[in-house]
Amino acid sequence: MPYLELTLSCTESQQPRYERALESVGALAVTLADAHADAPDEQAIFEPGVGETPLWHELTLTALFEADTPRELLLHALSASDEGLDWSQVAFREVADQDWERAWMDQYVPLQFGTHTWIVPWNHDLPDGADADDAAVVRLDPGLAFGSGTHPTTALCLQWLDTLADEGALRDARVLDFGCGSGILALAALKLGAASAVGVDNDPQALLATGDNAQRNGVGDRLAVYLPEDEPAMTYPVVVANILASALVALADTLAARVAPGGRIALSGILAGQEHEVLARYAETFDDLRAQRLEDWMRVTGVRRR
């Protein structure tokens, strides 16, 4: 069935009040987007720092309502719900119902990273090469949460894990995926030979998606997921954190403490030019630090000092 779509612009500080008002009058869904997504100097937020929910300074809010919702009555109810908000610039339009996740999946194709690693959507047959004996195939539904392998930050991490597998560093290892999203990195590590993995994320939906993907890939018994405050204190021979440069710098002590002496770490989500601060911060506890670039994004890797 069709829906009534309401769109408005607001600032970051106003966003919680607008969202509460929309939900209080029966919005079926509320989504947030950057109001200046097309600006050349605007930085996209692909993944929040663990424990944080960063937003753009100016946002576009979109809410969906039942198609037969009277527009004037809706505006009256919104004004009454919070008289301090401006509802005069609201725009309405009718939108057709469609399965947006499945529309995305129709455009998603199998991808190979390194020698062994394949990310294949559920609705695809295995491509040539993914049926090899040494192939590590992760079946993924990217509609469940972000993290499908298509973004350079994820691709850099998958390539690194694939290289570790060739070196034997993943064999029977325990892996930490910090900021796990869909769980794609933890799943790839398990398929590449890791014994177990832990996924940590501040978004409960991401943890649900990770757990669901793990079950579908037959590794649910080897992957545990936690919110940051619930994560057990332990060390890992392999740690990967695909978040944001600012969060990587802020969490340097926490992440360093998770890496066993002699263990390996990969840090991603770093825009080109931001790697220098990350390298300087992690040089305090890691050796053999290296930066690798893919498009406009960087990955930093290192070995924990013994």
Which pTM does this prediction carry? Answer: 0.69
Would you say residue 212 lies in a domain? Answer: yes
- pLDDT tens digits, one per residue of 180-205: 988 999 999 999 999 999 999 988 87
Q: 190 and 88, same structural domain?
A: no
Q: Which residue has the tokens 């992957």?
A: 223
Cα distance between residue 207 and residue 2, in whole Å = 31
pLDDT at residue 39, rounded to an integer:
47
pLDDT at residue 13, rounded to an integer: 84
Number of domains the chain is built from:
2
CA distance 292 to 298: 6
* Domain membership of residue 75 as a residue range: 3-97
Q: The domain spanning residue 171 has which CATH number?
A: 3.40.50.150
Given phi > 0 = left and psi -120 to 50 = alpha, else beta, which region is 265? beta
Which residue in this structure is represented by tokens 């900021």? 179
Q: What pLDDT, in 10s, does the model give residues 77-134? A: 999 999 899 999 999 998 876 544 454 455 567 889 999 999 888 777 888 888 898 9
Which residues participate in the annotated binding site? 154, 179, 201, 242
Residues 6+ positions from 65 with CB-CB distance below 8 Å: 3, 4, 5, 6, 26, 27, 28, 74
Using pLDDT thresholds of 50, 70 and 90, give the confidence band for residue 164.
Answer: very high
Q: Where is average pLDDT lowest: 105-114, 130-139, 252-261, 296-305?
A: 105-114
Task: Please check whether residues 155 and 299 belong to one and the same domain.
Answer: yes
Q: List binding-site positions for S-adenosyl-L-methionine.
A: 154, 179, 201, 242
Residue given tokens 């996209």 in the structure block: 44
pLDDT at 276 over 70: yes
Q: Which of 74, 97, 120 is the last residue of a domain?
A: 97
**Other beta carbons less than 10 A from residue 10's beta carbon:** 20
Same domain as 168, residue 42: no
In terms of domains, do 88 and 160 share one?
no
For residue 106, being part of any structural domain is answered with no
